[in-house]
């Protein structure tokens, strides 16, 4: 909600009359929205630290203490910067351009650090086992880092042309970009496209690796295709069929401008939300392993928030009040969630894959039972569950997580029932 409020003011900043809402009300909205977002971030970090303090995660959390401290430091320092900005607005009716610069550098450099650490992990894993999925993850993370750094660079360069103190301004603040920005703009657009496509491919491979039959689900396919289609349609409309809107723009310039800005600005949030939904779908496919579900959901939230919060270029118009700062303040936390979630989910997923193989192997072995009707199928499920608890795979998981795999027995039972049904479908005479 805070992102929606924040970005809405920025996107229509030069379209709607600046006197439509009094500046005193805007100050209150900005300060309240900022405080809500920062408090929510602090609460989330405390919750993650509490989650990590559980006994079975001690081996995992040991490597991430320094990054959790860095994330909290960034959030608190950014809170101080934004609090100072709010005080300037209420007392002096201005804010310093350098607050924008410092906040952008703080958020984007720290985000780059978190993602670079994650990329380095993937690269080291790839060198050991040459998994194509790990390579895809590495490429996606590397492209995200490149994109956020180029976005930061181009915004800071554009801010050099602005005055040191940003005050109330009635006219238009956004003008056609100078030719000196063309190269940076082109690099930024290309990196954005490559990042989006790479992450889409990686998410597709990740999701389908768990449940291949999901590809036959029409709704699943629509959810998967939606962000990619919308993203490219967005670019086509902006650069190739923009003349179609000229007539409507002359008839009703304010309405058509608001509609176009809303549509064009939604590509990243929609992509982020959809990637989050896809990770949620993945977590449902492995819901019998609660630890991995937790980390997959954390990954989904992180990826969703990265795409929604990486909107620093909108700050180059120096909006007054500085709406947009709240949005980018979420980027470090988003990257930290992605680091924590994907790294730990990947570390556990190999054990989980062995568990799934064990389930299928034991289910196949259990066909020695003479199934007759639903009652016999249920008996087979009970047999498989008992064998899994005795199987060495579950025992071996204890070496990775001190107190063993935290299995959800109800979800495990559902998964085994599906496996048994599929085995009977493939071999009805078994």
In angstroms, the Cα distances linking 341 to 60, 279, 360 are 11, 11, 27
The Cβ-side half-sphere exposure at 16, using a 13 Å CA radius, reads 15
Least confident piece of the model among 90-104, 183-197, 274-288, 371-385: 371-385
Question: pLDDT at position 48, please?
Answer: 81
Q: Is residue 409 pLDDT above 50, yes or no? A: yes
Domain's final residue, options 325, 348, 371: 348
pLDDT level of residue 371 (50, 70, 90 thresholds): very low
Largest Cα–Cα distance of the chain, in whole Å?
83
Nearest to 141 by CA among 6, 334, 290, 7: 334
Of residues 154 and 9, which shows the higher confidence score? 154
Structure tokens of 356? 């799934």
> Once rounded to an integer, what is the mean pLDDT over residues 288-309?
76
In 10 A of CB 253, how many CB atoms?
11
329, 360: one domain: no
Of residues 415 and 292, which shows the higher confidence score? 292
pLDDT level of residue 148 (50, 70, 90 thresholds): very high
343, 361: one domain: no
d(CA 181, CA 178): 6
Span 79-116, pLDDT tens digits: 999 999 999 999 998 899 999 999 999 999 999 999 99
Nearest to 278 by CA among 202, 372, 358: 202
Of residues 401 and 262, which shows the higher confidence score? 262
Span 225-246, pLDDT tens digits: 776 776 676 666 555 555 555 5
Question: pLDDT at position 273, please?
Answer: 66
Span 173-223, pLDDT tens digits: 555 556 777 788 888 888 888 888 887 787 777 666 655 554 555 666 666
Domain's final residue, options 323, 348, 373: 348
In 10 A of CB 81, how many CB atoms?
18
332, 415: one domain: no
In 10 A of CB 216, how many CB atoms?
8
372, 315: one domain: no
d(CA 267, CA 270): 5
286, 343: one domain: yes
> Once rounded to an integer, what is the mean pLDDT over residues 267-292?
61
Highest mean pLDDT among 114-128, 170-184, 261-275, 360-374: 114-128
287, 421: one domain: no
Domain's final residue, options 298, 317, 348: 348
337, 222: one domain: yes
262, 140: one domain: yes
65, 184: one domain: yes
Q: Is residue 29 pLDDT above 70, yes or no? A: yes
Question: pLDDT at position 194, please?
Answer: 86
382, 331: one domain: no
Q: Is residue 367 pLDDT above 80, yes or no? A: no
Task: Mention every residue, 6+ apart, whose C-beta is less than 8 A from residue 395.
Answer: 404
Percent of the chain exceeding pLDDT 90 equals 16
Is the backbone peptide bond immediately before 321 cis, with ω within 30 degrees of 0? yes
Question: pLDDT at position 101, please?
Answer: 93
149, 231: one domain: yes
Task: Mention every residue, 6+ apart, whose C-beta is less than 8 A from residue 211.
Answer: 285
> Once rounded to an integer, what is the mean pLDDT over residues 156-181?
73
The span from the first CA to the last CA of the chain, in angstroms, equals 54
Collapsing DSSP states into helix, strand and coil, what is residue 49? helix
Question: pLDDT at position 115, please?
Answer: 93
22, 64: one domain: yes
Q: Quote the domain boundaries for residue 416.
A: 355-426
Instruction: Work out how many domains the chain is built from and give that number.
Output: 2
Question: pLDDT at position 85, please?
Answer: 92
Nearest to 34 by CA among 405, 347, 330: 330
**Tokens 């991995």 label which residue?**
292
């Amino acid at each position: 909600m805070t992102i929606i409020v924040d970005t809405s003011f920025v996107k229509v900043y030069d379209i709607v009359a600046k006197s439509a809402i009094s500046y005193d009300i805007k100050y209150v909205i900005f300060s309240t929205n900022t405080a809500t977002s920062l408090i929510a971030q602090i609460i989330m970090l405390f919750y993650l630290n509490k989650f990590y303090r559980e006994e079975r995660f001690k081996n995992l959390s040991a490597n991430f203490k320094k990054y959790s401290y860095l994330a909290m430091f960034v959030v608190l320092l950014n809170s101080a910067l934004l609090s100072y900005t709010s005080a300037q607005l209420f007392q002096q009716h201005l804010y310093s351009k350098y607050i924008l610069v410092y906040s952008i550098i703080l958020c984007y450099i720290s985000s780059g650090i978190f993602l670079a650490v994650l990329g380095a992990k993937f690269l080291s894993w790839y060198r050991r086992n040459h998994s194509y999925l790990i390579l895809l993850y590495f490429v996606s993370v590397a492209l995200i880092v490149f994109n956020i750094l180029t976005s930061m660079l181009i915004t800071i360069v554009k801010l050099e042309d602005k005055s040191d103190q940003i005050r109330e301004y009635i006219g238009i603040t956004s003008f056609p970009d100078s030719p000196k920005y063309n190269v940076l703009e082109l690099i930024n657009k290309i990196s954005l496209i490559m990042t989006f496509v790479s992450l889409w491919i990686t998410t597709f491979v990740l999701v389908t690796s768990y449940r291949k039959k999901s590809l036959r689900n029409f709704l699943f396919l629509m959810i998967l295709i939606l962000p990619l289609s919308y993203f490219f349609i967005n670019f086509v409309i902006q650069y190739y069929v923009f003349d179609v809107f000229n007539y409507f723009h002359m008839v009703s310039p304010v309405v058509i401008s608001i509609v176009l800005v809303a549509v064009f600005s939604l590509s990243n949030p929609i992509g982020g939300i959809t990637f989050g939904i896809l990770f949620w779908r993945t977590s449902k496919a492995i819901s019998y392993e609660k630890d991995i579900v937790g980390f997959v959901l954390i990954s989904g939230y992180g990826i969703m928030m990265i795409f929604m919060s990486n909107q620093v270029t909108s700050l180059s118009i120096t909006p007054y009040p500085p709406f947009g700062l709240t949005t980018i303040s979420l980027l470090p936390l988003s990257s930290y969630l992605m680091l924590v979630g994907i790294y730990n989910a990947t570390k556990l997923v190999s054990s989980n894959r062995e568990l799934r193989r064990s389930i299928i192997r034991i289910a196949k072995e259990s066909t020695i039972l003479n199934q007759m009707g639903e009652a016999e199928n249920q008996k087979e499920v009970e047999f498989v569950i008992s064998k899994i608890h005795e199987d060495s795979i579950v025992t071996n998981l204890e070496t990775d997580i001190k107190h063993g795999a935290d299995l959800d027995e109800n979800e495990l039972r559902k998964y085994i029932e599906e496996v048994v049904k599929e085995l009977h479908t493939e071999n009805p005479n078994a």
